Structure 1
Amino acid sequence: MTVETENEQHRILTLIKGARVVLWDFDGPICRLFAGHSADGVASDLVSWLEGRGLHGLLTDRERESLDPQVVLRAVDRRHPGSDLVAELEERLTHEELRAATSAMPTPYADPLIRTWSAVGSRLAITTNNSPRVVRKYLESRGLVGCFAPHIYGRTQELRHLKPDPHCLVRALNATGTAPADALMIGDAPSDREAATRAGVPFLGYARNSRKAKLLKEAGAGDVVESLEPVLELLRG
């Protein structure tokens, strides 16, 4: 074991010990939501739906080509905040996320880590840009909803509150009566890290590949793991 690895383990152990509440992002650390239902296809369908209503010019070329349904939704909300158009587009995205939940792939070691963290007395919450209906459906399918309920904080009609805005983290902290320094967020995107920083919450990055790890580190994440296994081992130890 190198000194660097020992230092990394010590830092992660410190994060674990200090966490009265663990705030989980959903798509990434808990599962790959679109593993069997392409997010690219969902984004393309949303773009086509807009174009079918004569709204081709509502998106820039970059937004149309992003292949990220969240990018499409946010772009429309910026131009027509709080509109019926945004509400309908959000509902269409939620419908696709619900379909995706049936074929989502569990993140390795996430299930036992969640159960272990819950068993040792830490409180758990979901803080995500996905629909809370989708989160609940997936967690119920894995027998995990009891580890989190009622603390599932996801996308609302107020899309300006999506991460990197810390709104969902603050809701979780307030609901559990937890000081930011006594929490820990696990996320896989730079927006998660920014939201945690803005909320004053310590952050542990999860990256399922080196590309995602690089993005997190470039965003300033100091502690990033490419597997949840060492986190589980430290928690059990």
Structure 2
Amino acid sequence: MTSDTTQTETVAAQTEALRDLITRARVVLWDFDGPICRLFAGHAADKVADDLVEWLEGRGLHGLLTDEERQSLDPHIVLRALDRRHPGSDLVNELEERLTTEELRATASAMPTPYADPLIRTWKAVGRRMAIATNNSPRVVRTYLEGRDLTACFAPHIYGRTQQLNHLKPDPHCLNRALNAMGSAPSDALMIGDTPSDLYAAKAAGVPFLGYARNERKEKLLRDAGATVTVSSLEPMLTMVRTQA
């Protein structure tokens, strides 16, 4: 068997696995930042993380974070690190509000994921119910969806960050909230996410998972975490969903 034959068979198997996930799904749970848009495309997340760290250090709280946490370039890591040490504190609430403000600012320059808008609208048109399960603020999600005229495709099922930060993914809390509200069994749903945290949350909730990886680095992270079906573009999904109409 040639390497070309093996590659062709692998692609065919992936396509069939993708089709099976789409066909079975009656409820689709979307992560927000990644599969739907690049929230920080024009308002860099690493700059936001740096600003949060500087805000803490400006209050003499340098020692609350490890060197790794300070250098993570991920604002959610900074926020969760603080919450682990001071859960539910006013300090955590204020930092969370600062992050929400930065996320809201980022919606103005967020870049829609290619094919996401038509895929969402088409899936809705063929009778699938959809929800968003994200670590971002639900206020941010609503602001973005309103700007893209997508709110009706999801409302009221938008489940995002609350002040209970221990419920952020990889905890399955927001997925379980969505499933309970929509009256869906986990096996009838599909989670679309772009990070290992999304995958782990889906596994914990018993929901089939589809990984969206816009580059090779993202795909490797998902594959190493155990994702078996990934796509680098939403276009083939849109084609498959259109055949359900």
Under TM normalisation by the shorter chain, which class is it? Answer: over 0.9
Match status 1:133 vs 2:139: yes
Report matched runs for 1:144-155 at 5 Å. Answer: 144-155=150-161
Counterparts of 2:62 and 2:9 in 1: how far apart (Å)? Answer: 55
CA drift of 1:8 comes to: 1.2
Report matched runs for 1:43-122 at 5 Å. Answer: 43-122=49-128
Q: Deviations over 1:149-202 (max 9, x none)?
A: 000000000000000000000000000000000000000000000000000000
1:219 equivalent in structure 2: 225
Structure 2 unpaired stretches of 5+: 1-6
**Residue number among 188, 194, 208 corresponding to 2:194 in the alignment:** 188
CA drift of 1:51 comes to: 0.6
Counterparts of 1:23 and 1:170 in 2: how far apart (Å)? Answer: 10
Post-superposition, which runs of at least 4 consecutive aligned residues in structure 1 deviate over 3 A? none
Question: Secondary structure in 2 aligned to 1:11?
Answer: helix
Counterparts of 1:69 and 1:193 in 2: how far apart (Å)? Answer: 20
Q: Deviations over 1:188-222 (max 9, x none)?
A: 00000000000000000000000000000000000
CA drift of 1:10 comes to: 1.1
Aligned residue pair count: 237
CA drift of 1:236 comes to: 1.1
Q: Deviations over 1:78-115 (max 9, x none)?
A: 00000000000000000000000110000000000000
2:4 equivalent in structure 1: none
CA drift of 1:67 comes to: 1.1
Counterparts of 2:162 and 2:77 in 1: how far apart (Å)? Answer: 16
Match status 1:167 vs 2:189: no
Counterparts of 2:103 and 2:94 in 1: how far apart (Å)? Answer: 14
Counterparts of 2:74 and 2:19 in 1: how far apart (Å)? Answer: 34
Question: Secondary structure in 1 aligned to 2:33?
Answer: coil
Indicate the percent of aligned positions where both proteins have the same amino acid: 74
Counterparts of 1:25 and 1:79 in 2: how far apart (Å)? Answer: 27
Counterparts of 2:13 and 2:53 in 1: how far apart (Å)? Answer: 46
Counterparts of 1:129 and 1:229 in 2: how far apart (Å)? Answer: 25
Counterparts of 2:10 and 2:44 in 1: how far apart (Å)? Answer: 38
Counterparts of 2:223 and 2:201 in 1: how far apart (Å)? Answer: 15
**Residue number among 16, 21, 27 corresponding to 2:27 in the alignment:** 21
TM-score (norm 1): 0.99
Report matched runs for 1:3-14 at 5 Å. Answer: 3-14=9-20
Counterparts of 1:65 and 1:4 in 2: how far apart (Å)? Answer: 38
Q: Deviations over 1:40-60 (max 9, x none)?
A: 110111001001111010101
Counterparts of 1:56 and 1:185 in 2: how far apart (Å)? Answer: 37
Counterparts of 1:67 and 1:34 in 2: how far apart (Å)? Answer: 12
Q: Deviations over 1:10-46 (max 9, x none)?
A: 1111111111100000000000000000111101110
Counterparts of 1:99 and 1:217 in 2: how far apart (Å)? Answer: 32
Counterparts of 2:239 and 2:205 in 1: how far apart (Å)? Answer: 28
Could you tell me which amino acid in structure 1 is paired with residue 170 of structure 2? P
RMSD: 0.8
